Chain A
Amino acid sequence: MRLLFYALFGLMGLVLQAAVLPHLVPLQFKPGLLLILVVYLGISEKAGFGAPLAYLFGLLFDVFAGAEPGRYGLLFLLLYFSVRGTIGFFNPENPLLLLFLVACGTLLESSLLIFLDGFFAAGTLWPIVLRALLPQLLVNVIAAGVLLLSVTWLQRRFPRLRVPGMQRLDERYES
């Protein structure tokens, strides 16, 4: 069930980013929906389940992003482990944590992109990444906020809806 939820959300995010949002949102910056999903995986799922899934999302994302397969696979895996490694220092019950970690995730994504491009390719990507970094960070945080509000609203509206991760937080209060 959890896998189905993540797979559906991942596929939806991919199609939204590649085909739907460029038509509907008149901005050149697309929200990183899969990045938000990987950060969410890092907050709520253990490495045995979350890490392979983050890598798979990265490989899927590579089919629609850039010209080098495997780049986002590696990048999302590093992002997942970074979130997983630091989550112990924060209060995971605070909903604002997702927004904060999405902002940090965007910065990490940009840094890794510049590093990988400089190390493995021509090293010409950094001006584009640096120019777009702040607007992209803002767009990602807004998208994470909208998603968070939507999920919270859906859970209130349909109490039987089980969103992985969110449910576990609620159960802590119930026991």
Chain B
Amino acid sequence: MFDLLKRYRRQILACGLILAALLLYSANLRRSGAASFFERAVLAVTAPILNGFDTVWRSATGTWDHYLWLIDTAAENDRLNEENRRLQSDLIAVQEVGLANERLRRLLDFKEELAVLTLPAQVIGEDATSWFRTVVIDKGSDDGVAEGMPVVVAEGVVGRTIRVAAGQSRVLLITDASSAVASLVQKNRTRGICRGEGASLTLDFALRLKEIEIGDLIVSSGTGGVFPKGLAIGHVEAVSRGDFGLFQTVTVTPTVDFSRLEEVLILLRLPLVDEAL
């Protein structure tokens, strides 16, 4: 018996090591979303390098943009002036709608929404693989960030924080395969779950009988408990309706350009969801 163990000790040790790694992985899956000491330590150690490179990169590209591409500035200025005039007129119309909305809300005695506390952050790193979609941001628990907080930009939903260290956090993007967002088709309020597909999203569990068209806007429904209601997620790119079955397959293009993600906003406090809506 001892000879047998001695003869196969390498194989036994290898199997033991693999089994231990498998058990640790399995145990981590059951653990809550909080970052371990090891993860926090690695994030803290690598953060100065990531921050340093990010600063160098931004100043280099900033120099390029500001000094070398001045030739386009005059044309760009004219275009922006024209756009500004158009937006000013749009803004007046929107303000009118806003005022009318406020009057109607008072009339119907709706609950006041909480003001959303937001924290701006910079993206300083990306996922190290080509398979997953996560980013590292330069704000952490010292700034009031906790696991599970929604992260957005002006164009729409970005993702949620999954690991938080003192000065950095990792954000799981909505395009990751393990990400799911409770969603609505804005036009006809069809409910579904938006799942990540790498570059695009798929709207699952949208009832087959509901009319969904290409170009329809998909927004967060607020029922998932992570994202507030009404944030833009994407536009419908393709709809596939079979001859039978309960649901239809909807492909969604995110409104956010994840390849150009630089600054994001972390929603520190969610607004109240209007139950009447």
Contacts and interface: CB of A to CB of B under 8 A. Distances in A.
Interface stretch (A62-70, A94-102, A149-157, A158-166): A62-70
Contacts of B22: 74
B134 A66 contact: yes
Interface string A18-43: 11101100001110101000000000
Given A28-B259, A74-B25, A124 B132 contact: no
Contact of B53 (A20, A28, A129): A20
A132 B28 contact: no
B57 A66 contact: no
B94 interface: no
A59 B26 CA distance: 14
Nearest to B14: A81
B195 interface: yes
Contact of A23 (B17, B18, B57, B128): B57
B125 A63 contact: no
Interface stretch (B41-49, B66-74, B78-86, B215-223): B41-49
A88 interface: no
Contacts of B46: 11, 14-15, 18, 63
Contact of A68 (B21, B25, B42, B127): B25
A38 to B, nearest CB: 13
Given A20-B53, A28-B130, A32-B129, A120 B18 contact: no
A20 B30 CA distance: 33
B84 to A, nearest CB: 31
A19 to B, nearest CB: 5
B28 A19 contact: no
Interface string A123-164: 011011101100010010000000000000000000000000
B136 A66 contact: no
Given A28-B259, A74-B22, A121-B29, A67 B176 contact: yes
B18 A30 contact: no
Contacts of B121: none
Range, interface on chain B: 35 or more
A17 interface: yes
Contacts of A66: 127, 129, 131-132, 134, 176, 178
A51 B132 contact: no
B57 A128 contact: no
A66 B131 CA distance: 8
A17 B128 contact: yes
A59 B24 CA distance: 11
A22 B126 contact: yes
Given A18-B50, A63-B39, A77 B130 contact: no
Contacts of B129: 17, 30, 32, 65-66
B197 interface: yes
B268 interface: no
A35 to B, nearest CB: 9
14 contacts: A15-B46, A18-B127, A55-B17, A62-B39, A64-B127, A66-B127, A66-B132, A67-B176, A74-B24, A81-B18, A122-B177, A124-B177, A124-B178, A127-B177
Interface of A: 11, 14-15, 17-20, 22-23, 28-30, 32, 34, 47, 51-52, 55, 58-71, 73-74, 77-78, 81, 113, 116-117, 120-122, 124-125, 127-129, 131-132, 136, 139
Interface of B: 10, 13-14, 17-18, 21-22, 24-29, 36, 38-39, 42-43, 46, 49-50, 53-54, 57, 124-132, 134, 136, 162-163, 170, 172, 176-178, 195-199, 259
